[in-house]
Structure 1
Amino acid sequence: MNPDRRNRQVHDALDQWLLEGQIDNAAHSRIGELYPLTRWDWRSLGRWFLTFGAISLATGLLLFLREHLTFTLAKLAISLSVLTLGLFVVGRWLPRKGLKMLGSTAELLGGFSLIGVSIAAGMIYSDGSGNWPALLLIDFLVLLELSYALGNVLLLTLCSVLFFVWFGGCSGYVSGWGAYWFGMNYPLRFLGVSLALVAAGGVHLRCEAELPARYSGFAKVWISYGLFVAEMSLWLLSLFGNYDLIDRPWHLADDGELLVFNLLWALVSLGVLAVGLRLRFGMLVGYGVTFLIIQLYTLFFTQLAETLGWLASLLMAGGGSLALVIWLESQRQTRRVAISDA
């Protein structure tokens, strides 16, 4: 039997069992992952394209308005407020016509428009403090509530971006340092916050069977965002150490400190990989493998490349990458054959 056809039959049976209450959502998802319908996760890819399209459209509209229309700040704030309300109304109306994804995208555009409203209002009522991150904090809190009220995972993704920019802005620009993302002033702060984010995702995942279906995917956003922030923090800590003072020469961290953070980073990535393999959670496996590879390449280029010479180093790095890709592809083909023969 054709593997795709067989997998479709399995998914149809799983859907029927779920409707009849014979299995829960967690079992449905776990078993379904073993029988992929396509080689590519088109639904996930579609979400990314929708997100990119929403950002591009919002940016284009703002540029068009700026270039062809003359607004005072007050008129701009009012116009954006009307646009925000309209987008959220359309976002609620489209799913009734069977266009759920487009409805979610309209609400995402509404989220971007709401950020524009807060920025315009902030410029109108500015007291000269320059505390722009406070506006993003307000947007984050409002959109977080809307994400759950509307059950929109795209809005929750926007919230994660807002939180990163707000938190970095508070501890970066406002502190007077200005290094921001690469400084992440300071990495340990982000590492601590990431633990709370992953914990929130874990609670979501544990309660997924009891939560309404509209919250499907929320756990992955929390966990993915928390892991990304943690891994990026550990990457910076492994390179520069814990530069916890603005006037400290961060590039002079001693070898012992860098070794500790490198070991911690490796343990975290290995732990994420182990948990992902144990739970058959592909996202965790992807994070673990990706950042282990990044760490190996980072160590290679920071510790060995200068000694070996750049020509030899690039040849070794490129050859290693090709060998890794070939091995991963062979493993994927082996798994596909095993599934089709089962």
Structure 2
Amino acid sequence: MWSRKEAETIRRALQGWQQQGELTPEQVQRLEQGLEERRFDWLKLARYSFYVAVASLVLAVASVLVDQRVIDWITAMFNAPVLARALALTLLGIGLLAVGLWRRGDGARPYQVEALFLGSVLAFSGALAYLGDYLHPDSDSWRWYLLAATLLYLLMGLTLRSLLIWGIALLSLMLWLCVHSVEVAGWEGLWFGMNLPLRLALLGGLIALAGQAMEGRAPALAPLTRHFGWLSVLGFLWLVSIFGNHGNWDHWADVPQWQLWPWALGAMLVCLGAIWAGIRWSIPALRLYGLLFLILHLYSRYFEQLWDSLHKGVLFAIAGLGFWLLGTQAERIWSRQRDNTEGL
């Protein structure tokens, strides 16, 4: 089954091969008869239906909450012992997980399954929070509960092969490193000689390497892991190119601009390395990320060097002209690729 757009692309390709003598008219006719168009995208309808369903449920909950009887029931539930609330949420999470696995069996409800898995994750998170409240931890111990939740998400993502849960796990891992290192070193302190953007960039690099290693064992999760790692490395290195490896804001404000150039140069070299690797191993996404962040670096250096010395109108006019030229060139490349595709 093909969508209408896909079927049209195939027909144009068949006509092009016929004009080049690669196929006979009879072969083209036979192949075109085998094209079966998908008249309606039911999967897209399912996705948007779940979006509307979630919004409707939120409105339903908001409407029900104005009922005094419901308010009294919720109050009684939250006045229950903390351990009972943790147990109730655990049972709810297990139930949602079981229903999700059952629905996944027929393979026909991917968005419903992901929604059930997400509900299970939220229920387990609430149970863990209530368990922590029951054990009365001090403020410094909450980072270990966050680590426990992160490990739970990682385990669930790997076991269920769920992209949604795996993405939440990677974000939680970033958050845990941020919270843990700030608890140890403070917001303006260096942790193992690194400020916050630099340590997050290092974690992003480790995640990218993990994504590469997962290709054979968890191929469904490997692409998301690599993309998350690449974007984390390039994004946080861009912040490092602006702030250097300084944690103290006052110290950073007093540092001459030229002392930050080694960090900016190193970050731009990483972008060039990403572009080279994307070309060398035919990875379009990595090549695109490297190019976009290299452009962002160049414009960042442009504003850094000329913000005080150039009139703001001229500054933004030059920046706008540069983006105009960049957009024109990108449009020209896109038009050339489209013409080449249609000429097949």
The alignment's TM-score, normalised by the length of structure 1, stands at 0.74
Aligned AA for 2:114? S
Matched, 1:96 2:105: yes
| Shift in Å, 1:257 | 3.5
| Shift in Å, 1:201 | 1.3
Listed one character per residue, the Cα deviations across residues 226-247 of structure 1 (whole Å, up to 9, x for unaligned) are 2222123212221121125x58
Aligned counterpart for 1:146 among listed residues 153, 156, 163? 156
Matched, 1:5 2:40: no
Q: Note if contact 1:240-1:253 (Cα within 8 Å) is conserved in structure 2.
A: no
Bigger mean CA deviation after superposition, 156-165 or 225-234: 225-234
Q: Note if contact 2:86-2:127 (Cα within 8 Å) is conserved in structure 1.
A: yes
Matched, 1:219 2:222: yes
Partner of 1:196: 206
Q: Distance in 2 between matches of 1:153 and 1:292?
A: 29
Partner of 1:242: 245
Aligned AA for 1:87? L
Matched, 1:108 2:118: yes
Bigger mean CA deviation after superposition, 318-327 or 114-123: 318-327
Bigger mean CA deviation after superposition, 306-315 or 152-161: 306-315
Aligned AA for 2:130? A
Aligned AA for 2:111? M
Q: Distance in 1 between matches of 2:55 and 2:296?
A: 29
Q: Distance in 2 between matches of 1:56 and 1:241?
A: 47
Partner of 1:323: 325
Once the two structures are aligned, what percentage of the paired residues are identical?
25
Matched, 1:162 2:172: yes
Matches within 5 A, 1:326-337: 326-337=328-339
Aligned AA for 1:117? A
In structure 2, do the counterparts of structure 1 residues 327 and 160 end up closer, same or farther at CA, with 3 Å as the change threshold?
same
Partner of 2:91: 82
Considering only aligned residues, what root-mean-square deviation do their CA atoms show, in Å? Answer: 3.8
Listed one character per residue, the Cα deviations across residues 295-332 of structure 1 (whole Å, up to 9, x for unaligned) are 12211222113322222222222232233223212211
Q: Note if contact 1:168-1:185 (Cα within 8 Å) is conserved in structure 2.
A: no
Secondary structure of residue in 2 paired with 1:291: helix
Secondary structure of residue in 2 paired with 1:177: coil
Unaligned runs of 5+ in 2: 13-42
Q: Distance in 2 between matches of 1:126 and 1:55?
A: 36
Secondary structure of residue in 2 paired with 1:307: coil
| Shift in Å, 1:273 | 1.7
Q: Note if contact 2:128-2:149 (Cα within 8 Å) is conserved in structure 1.
A: yes
Partner of 2:303: 301
| Shift in Å, 1:75 | 4.4
Q: Distance in 2 between matches of 1:134 and 1:104?
A: 27
Partner of 1:314: 316
Q: Note if contact 1:54-1:109 (Cα within 8 Å) is conserved in structure 2.
A: no
Partner of 2:340: 338
Q: Note if contact 1:80-1:114 (Cα within 8 Å) is conserved in structure 2.
A: yes
Listed one character per residue, the Cα deviations across residues 200-225 of structure 1 (whole Å, up to 9, x for unaligned) are 112223x2xxx4xxx44412222122
Secondary structure of residue in 2 paired with 1:160: helix
| Shift in Å, 1:157 | 0.4
